[in-house]
Amino acid sequence: MKALPPIVLTMVISGVCIIGDYYLKRASQTAAPFRTMAFAIGVLIFASTAIGWVLIFPHMKLGVVGVVYGVSTVLFMALLGRLVFGESLRPQELFGMGLGIASIVLLARFA
């Protein structure tokens, strides 16, 4: 089985982090967020992504990893907010996300 390209693996890790964000958001909605199972799960998920970063860093520049991770995280968080928490997105925000997607496409082509 062929390994995922580093840029795709970066986006996968971002998606895993979003699952952690979901649990941290749930924990934050309680009276004692640091004492919840949701907080513990969120922290464990974030810690587990360190394995992926160690695999990615030898193959990509840190700046490129940062851009891909940042943009994909914003996109995944917006999707999570919309689908799970019922948050709305303004047209300006959608336009900015479109520009973020364009930046990942450019990086994938030229990085």
Instruction: Please tell me whether residue 30 adopts helix, strand or coil conformation.
Output: coil
- pTM for the model: 0.79
The pLDDT of residue 1:
47
CB within 8 A of 99, min separation 6: which ones? none
d(Cα 72, Cα 1) in Å, to the nearest integer? 25
For the chain, residues with pLDDT lower than 50 are 1
Q: What does residue 29 show for φ and ψ, rounded to 5 degrees?
A: -90, 10
Q: Quick one: CA dihedral 71, 77, 83, 89, positive or negative?
A: negative
What digits encode the pLDDT tens for the residues 66-96?
888 999 998 999 999 999 989 899 999 999 9
Reference 15, options 57, 48, 54; nearest CA is 48
Residue found under tokens 């973020």: 100
Q: What is the pLDDT of residue 103?
A: 87
**61, 64, 82: which is closest to 72 by C-alpha?**
64
